[in-house]
Every structure is written in structure tokens, then in C-alpha cells.
């Protein structure tokens, strides 16, 4: 039993008494998270698992982070959808869509101009005029939307036979500031059928039923894919920059290590920063608390972790250099004791 116990502790050992590299145990993800935060001596054996396992760890921790963000985004989308439905119920009169046109219940309602401002889904200012076909009037609506900074200078004009998306383009940017679509085109894209009939009640029912589910699913995967790409690429860049800084520090302190090993250590060094980023994101969303220079602290914390590991490696090297005689004596004793144990 006494011979097996040291072998179980070899995951913390880098070089054995014969100068051979010891292959560490492959740690599970949850242990790596814990070790990366509280146990600096574990960085060396974890880094010896290779860059492949370090990148796998990065993918796992980024996925968890992005999953949390996507769930919060899902909650936000559901909340925004409720607000949109409320705006439709209160700000849009009863209507009926059929044969490519929208009709209201009375001529008086048909002649009114309705305005809705939506910031939740970034639709902007929505102007509904189901009577006019005058291009001058439509141009006025367009200018109103483009000059409305509160809704980001974007919006939608709803006419009786078509809908127009308006966007104020920045100077020097080419493109169409007005995009028009007939209702037949809209229905074909949404439902695959131009013969669909829609009323205010069926629209609200759709948004509260299958439409809500479809919108939330699309938003969730959109959030997840977009944030995953953003955070994975940014963390890879941060890790590479930190690796370069660590490599320079290792050369200055004369530590024998490799760029690949330092890259793996850099990935693990960002663990605490990532956990704090998750907490900060949640607190910022629900409580509105902001921390100035948090992005700087995100990198500084990881750098402190990596430098601490480098100095730990330096101290280990110095101890070996300071006690070469003791090491030789231990090796000779081990050789002398060997035959007796056999």
C-alpha cells in the first residue's frame, strides 16, 4: 500500500528522480475549474496535458458562460415580446388582412395615423397610415423616423398594401435607406402562403402561442452562436497575448518552459476572470451595477495568476539548484535500498 500512495500523488509532479517527465492524470472539468482558481501548484501538471485539452477546457467554460448569457437573453426576449403584444393591444386598432391589403373596421379608423415606438426588438418608430398613397406624406414619415434619435433613427412605415423599413445611413455608407415589401412577400416569407388572413386577435394569439415559441427559439440560438463566436475568439486572443507576456517573463527569469505549456497555463489563468465575468453580467443585467475598468481587471487577474505560477516554477528550480548534494544522496540511498526491498 505504501508503494501505491506516492503514485496517486504524482499528478502534482513534473519531473521524477531520474529526470523523466511524469504524465499527469487527466482531470475532469469541474476539478480543473477549482484547481485553476485556488491551487497554483496544479497549473504545471494541467499544462502538461497539452494545448488540445486546454482548448477543450476553454470551449467548455466559454460554452457555460454563453449558455448563461443566452438564458438571460431568452428571458429578456420574452419580456420584450410581452411589451410588444401590449403595444399591439393598446396602440393598434382592430384590423383584417386579406388579399394583400389591410383594412380597418371603420372609415374613421382607416383615416387615422397610428404611432408606436419599440425599443425592445429594435424596430424603432412604427408609423401606421392605411389611407395615404401620397409620396410626399410618406417622405415626411421617413424624415420623422430618420431624425428620431430616441429610436436610433430607424423605423417602419405600415401602409395599406406594403410595409417599408427605414434606416438612416451614416455618412459615407452606401446602401438603401428605404426597403419596401408588399404584404404578399411578407406572408410568403413568414408562412409560405400569400393567401393567409390575419386579424388583430389572431396576430395576438399567434404571438402568445406558436409564434412566441418560434421567436424565442430563434433568438436563443442567435444569442448562443453570436456570443460563442465573440467570446471564444476574444478569449483565444487574450490567452495568446498573455502567453506572449508570460513567455517573455519566463525568459527574463530563466525558467525552462515552452510556448505551448504557457499557452495552456494562460487558458487556465482566465478561469477566475471568466467566473467573475459571469457574476458581473448577471448583476449588471438585473441590478444595473457597472464596474469601471472591469475589462482591464479581467486581464490583470489572469496575468497575476500566470506570473504567480512562473515564480512558483522559479522557486522549484532554485530549490533543486540549492540542494544538489542532498538530491544525490537521496538517489544513492534509493539505489542502495532497492536490492533489499527485492
Cα 102 to Cα 125: distance, rounded to the nearest angstrom? 19
The grid coordinates of residue 238 equal 487574450
Q: Reply yes or no on whether the pLDDT at 131 is more than 50.
A: yes
Q: How far is CA 218 from CA 37, 88, 166, in A?
A: 35, 21, 24
What is the three-class DSSP state of 125? strand
Instruction: Give residue 1's pLDDT.
Output: 43
Centre a 10 Å sphere on the Cβ of residue 341 and count the other Cβ atoms it contains: 6
Q: Reply yes or no on whether the pLDDT at 8 is more than 60.
A: no
From 41-55, 70-84, 96-110, 282-296, the region with the lowest mean pLDDT: 96-110
User: Residue 341: inside a domain, yes or no?
Assistant: no
What is the three-class DSSP state of 151? helix
The grid coordinates of residue 134 equal 401620397
Contact 113, 129 (CB under 8 A): yes
Q: Which residue has the higher pLDDT, 16 or 142?
A: 142
Give me the domain span that covers residue 51: 5-70+219-336
Using the 3D structure, point to which of 159, 194, 229 is the last residue of a domain: 194
Domain count of the fold of the chain: 2
The predicted-structure confidence for 175-212, as pLDDT tens digits, reads as follows 667 888 888 888 887 777 777 788 888 889 888 888 88
Averaged pLDDT for residues 107-127: 81
Confidence band of 174 (pLDDT split at 50, 70, 90): low
Confidence band of 132 (pLDDT split at 50, 70, 90): confident
Cα 89 to Cα 325: distance, rounded to the nearest angstrom? 86
State how beta strands 178-182 and 162-167 pair.
Answer: antiparallel
User: Residue 116: inside a domain, yes or no?
Assistant: yes
Looking at the structure, tell me whether residues 59 and 119 fall in a common domain: no
Cα 157 to Cα 130: distance, rounded to the nearest angstrom? 10
What is the three-class DSSP state of 128? strand
Using the 3D structure, point to which of 137, 160, 194 is the last residue of a domain: 194
Looking at the structure, tell me whether residues 324 and 236 fall in a common domain: yes
The predicted-structure confidence for 285-332, as pLDDT tens digits, reads as follows 898 888 888 889 999 999 999 988 888 887 766 565 555 544 445 445
Q: Reply yes or no on whether the pLDDT at 140 is more than 50.
A: yes
Looking at the structure, tell me whether residues 112 and 174 fall in a common domain: yes
Instruction: Give residue 318's pLDDT.
Output: 59
* pTM recorded for the entire structure: 0.71
Amino acid at each position: 500500500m505504501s508503494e501505491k500512495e506516492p503514485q496517486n500523488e504524482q499528478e502534482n509532479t513534473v519531473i521524477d528522480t531520474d529526470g523523466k517527465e511524469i504524465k499527469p492524470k487527466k482531470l475532469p472539468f469541474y476539478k480543473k475549474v477549482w484547481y485553476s482558481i485556488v491551487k497554483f501548484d496544479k497549473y504545471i501538471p494541467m499544462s502538461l496535458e497539452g494545448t488540445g485539452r486546454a482548448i477543450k477546457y476553454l470551449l467548455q467554460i466559454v460554452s457555460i458562460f454563453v449558455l448563461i448569457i443566452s438564458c438571460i437573453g431568452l428571458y429578456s426576449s420574452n419580456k420584450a415580446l410581452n411589451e410588444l403584444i401590449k403595444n399591439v393591444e393598446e396602440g393598434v386598432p382592430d384590423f383584417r388582412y386579406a388579399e394583400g391589403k389591410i383594412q380597418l373596421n371603420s372609415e374613421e379608423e382607416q383615416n387615422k395615423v397610428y404611432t408606436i415606438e419599440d425599443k425592445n426588438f429594435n424596430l424603432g418608430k412604427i408609423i401606421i397610415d392605411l389611407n395615404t398613397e401620397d409620396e410626399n406624406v410618406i417622405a415626411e414619415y421617413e424624415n420623422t423616423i430618420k431624425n428620431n434619435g430616441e429610436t436610433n433613427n430607424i423605423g417602419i412605415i405600415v401602409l395599406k398594401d406594403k410595409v417599408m423599413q427605414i434606416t438612416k445611413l451614416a455618412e459615407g455608407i452606401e446602401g438603401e435607406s428605404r426597403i419596401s415589401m408588399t404584404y404578399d412577400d411578407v406572408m410568403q416569407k413568414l408562412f409560405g402562403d400569400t393567401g393567409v388572413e390575419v386579424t388583430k386577435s389572431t396576430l395576438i394569439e399567434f404571438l402568445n402561442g406558436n409564434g412566441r415559441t418560434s421567436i424565442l427559439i430563434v433568438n436563443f440560438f442567435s444569442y448562443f452562436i453570436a456570443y460563442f463566436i465573440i467570446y471564444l475568439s476574444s478569449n483565444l486572443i487574450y490567452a495568446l497575448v498573455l502567453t506572449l507576456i508570460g513567455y517573455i517573463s519566463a525568459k527574463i527569469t530563466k525558467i525552462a518552459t515552452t510556448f505551448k505549456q504557457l499557452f495552456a497555463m494562460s487558458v487556465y489563468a482566465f478561469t477566475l476572470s471568466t467566473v467573475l465575468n459571469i457574476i458581473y453580467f448577471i448583476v449588471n443585467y438585473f441590478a444595473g451595477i457597472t464596474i469601471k475598468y472591469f475589462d482591464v481587471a479581467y486581464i490583470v487577474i489572469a496575468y497575476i495568476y500566470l506570473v504567480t505560477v512562473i515564480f512558483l516554477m522559479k522557486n522549484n528550480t532554485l530549490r533543486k539548484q540549492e540542494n544538489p548534494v542532498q538530491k544525490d544522496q537521496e538517489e544513492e540511498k534509493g539505489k542502495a535500498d532497492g536490492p533489499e526491498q527485492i
